[in-house]
Amino acid sequence: LDAPEWILAELAVLAKMSSVRIKLLCAQVVNGILGGNIDYAKVEKLTADANLSQTDVKAIIAAIEFCLSSGAKYDVDDTTLCNELQQLGLPKEHSEALARPYKDKKEALRTVFVASTLKLPRIQNVDWRIDYVIGSSDLCEINQPSVQLSLDITDGRKATPVSFEVNADKLRVLFNELKHARTVMDSME
């Protein structure tokens, strides 16, 4: 995939700064990604001598965050990140300055991204009952079992009860589909 155009533009602006200042900026950005606060007073001091506008400073922070976040999300090692940044036009010293804090905090960054990944609801409890209806006032003979399932589904915060009734054929289809889905999921691990 190609890098977004705005990243290319911001890497050119980032190249105007010293590699030491980039390393310090990266530390601020990593702190922000990990849930801390970016110290904008420090950021302003670090970018003051580069003669950058406020917009450029914000764009540089966004570019650094994009590079570090993308690297962590896709489990890129620090050497590959450094090489890719150089291929995008960032000088070697600058790329290494970006890759060092990334290497130090990569696992913490990955932990943050895993925690914020889409999570599906989980089945907390299953209760079932089989009813065998022999007849009713409308029909003389039915002789067909039905299954009532009650599931407690949790999204991490609260459990929601879901109940439904199926006949034997639909239960067999549901069971086989769930087994197939489980096989597919196990093969992906």
- Contact by Cβ (8 Å): 153, 122: yes
First to last CA, the chain: 25
Q: Count CB atoms within 10 A of the CB of residue 25.
A: 24
3-state secondary structure of 135: coil
CA count, 13 A, side-chain hemisphere, 96: 6
Does this model's pTM top 0.85? My answer is no
Residuewise pLDDT in 10s, the chain (189 residues): 678 899 989 988 888 889 999 999 999 999 999 988 888 888 888 888 878 888 888 999 999 999 999 999 889 999 999 999 999 999 999 999 999 999 999 999 998 888 877 777 888 889 999 888 776 666 666 677 888 999 999 877 788 999 999 988 898 999 999 999 999 989 987
Q: Could you tell me the strand order of the sheet in which 144-154 lies?
A: 122-133, 144-154, 159-167
